[in-house]
Structure 1
């Protein structure tokens, strides 16, 4: 009697397992899906961050980009949610890698803007602050100073070259005028000698004093 009862109970248990195994399996899958959706809902800003960064960069809202990036770094590095721990899922890793790629592009963009010349002091201070907040390599402030120094030197060189060109043109005009006057015998020899002397002095790199009070004889 006892053995028969045991067999009946075993068959009932097996039948119950067969009936509810699929239901229990579906419940486990549903729980896993629900947990994943909860994580996505809780951290949806991270998954939307690459697109938001791109949009805010295009609008010039760099402060918003920096704030979101700092929030993402804090969340991704310190969260206790399993999907974001050291054994991070491939999906989360890809998303965060995409964020870092866009931030690196932003660093380059801001550095290019910082090194543009001419630029206002307000813009320079703003870009230096952005780069510092994004932990850009190097020293943005010093890079800006070096760029401004090179730009000023180039301006001075251009000014020098323009001045020399103007002086050469002026001397050439004097020579041309002297030649024309000589051909017409309108210029005394003393004036011609003075002009030629000044030309020689200029070409030799010496100071030139032009006397505009010379009169023709």
Structure 2
């Protein structure tokens, strides 16, 4: 395969227009440093020394070639000067205009220093602060109305998005009055699934109100379930509702106990009734017997 080419340092063209190829006899660098201790042979260095350059690159060049190189260099310099002069002549108007602008800028800068001093930042800061204060006084009322309008729109948007939650307390009251308890249970289960873990203070406040209504409903259902007389079907419905609402007690056992107490009470009343009737009959028989004997 091909070998990669090694990078070589850039060598600027010879200013004399002479070729330096084949010049194997280099002037010793130690002697150059002694002759020009503060100089350099590089064309781009600020401490460039022509003598260093000539000794380093043209120590073996003939005098005639050096003269020819000098002529070449002079022509090159003259052509560059002519090029600069030609450019200035062709663009005299633009150059003069730029000079005028520079003079104007200098005058404006000096005038600004006389007015504001050499440190204009404090006055600039004061002007900016004054403009801010003026803007606030002009637009504060408008911005305040806009802020209130934004808050109103945000509140309306919130009400629209969560209409179900905000209307639920009134809906629960209405359904309880209509004894549509199944709707209450369904709505309560739904709202708990949707907002049960919310961190929004407003939502928590509404949920607390709903929980209070549900607790009142539980107490009401519990009272109706154990209040006799009541048929078994209705009592079963109350048991199911209390279980769905996670009532803390044992609704079924409470219902059974209530019905047992009610039935025992009825039996006691029947027993007392017939006992009184029997006692009355015995008393009447005794009276009739006494009259007959008399």
Fold-level match, TM-score > 0.5? yes
* Distance of 1:104 and 1:10 partners within structure 2: 62
Q: 1:71 to 1:178 in 2, by over 3 A?
A: same
2:103 paired residue number: none
Unmatched segments (≥5 aa) in structure 1 = 80-84, 184-217
Aligned: 1:148 with 2:267: no
Aligned: 1:65 with 2:184: yes
1:47 paired residue number: 166
Alpha-carbon deviation of 1:53? 1.1
Aligned: 1:163 with 2:274: yes
Aligned: 1:180 with 2:291: yes
Name the structure with the higher helix share: 1
Select between 114-123 and 8-17 the one with higher mean Cα deviation: 8-17
* Distance of 1:21 and 1:181 partners within structure 2: 115
Show the 5 A alignment for 1:1-217.
1=108, 7=124, 10=128, 14=132, 17-18=135-136, 23-79=142-198, 85-86=199-200, 88-89=201-202, 92-183=203-294
Alpha-carbon deviation of 1:15? 8.0
* Distance of 1:52 and 1:120 partners within structure 2: 28
Unmatched segments (≥5 aa) in structure 2 = 1-107
Instruction: Identify which of structures 1 and 2 has the higher relative contact order when contacts are C-alpha pairs closer than 8 Å and 6+ apart.
Output: 1
Select between 159-168 and 4-13 the one with higher mean Cα deviation: 4-13
CA offsets, 1:111-141, max 9 Å, x none?
1111122222211211111011111111010
* Distance of 2:171 and 2:145 partners within structure 1: 36
Alpha-carbon deviation of 1:163? 1.6
Q: 1:34 to 1:180 in 2, by over 3 A?
A: same
* Distance of 1:173 and 1:26 partners within structure 2: 96
* Distance of 1:101 and 1:78 partners within structure 2: 17
* Distance of 2:133 and 2:207 partners within structure 1: 48
CA offsets, 1:46-83, max 9 Å, x none?
2222222111111111011111112222233235xxxx
Alpha-carbon deviation of 1:13? 6.6
Larger Rg belongs to? 2
Q: 1:154 to 1:12 in 2, by over 3 A?
A: closer
2:18 paired residue number: none
CA offsets, 1:17-67, max 9 Å, x none?
545565555444433332222111111222222222111111111011111
Residue-pair matches, total: 175
TM-score, normalised relative to structure 1? 0.69
Please provide the CA RMSD for this pair. 2.8
* Distance of 1:21 and 1:130 partners within structure 2: 57
